[in-house]
Amino acid sequence: MMTLDTTNMCSHLQQKLFEEDGEYHRLWLAMQNDEELTAVVRSRQLHIYRNGKKVLVLAGKSAPKILREDAICEMIELI
| 29 vs 3: CA distance, rounded Å | 12
Alpha carbon separation from 2 to 13, 56, 61, 63 (Å, rounded): 16, 16, 23, 23
List, as one string, the DSSP characters of 21-69: T-TTHHHHHHHHT-TTEEEEEETTEEEEEETTEEEEEE-SSSPPEE-S-
CA–CA–CA angle 61, 63, 41 (5° rounding): 70
pTM for this prediction? 0.92
Each of the 79 residues of the chain gets a pLDDT tens digit; together they read 788 999 999 999 999 999 999 999 999 999 999 999 999 999 999 999 999 999 999 999 999 999 999 999 999 876 6
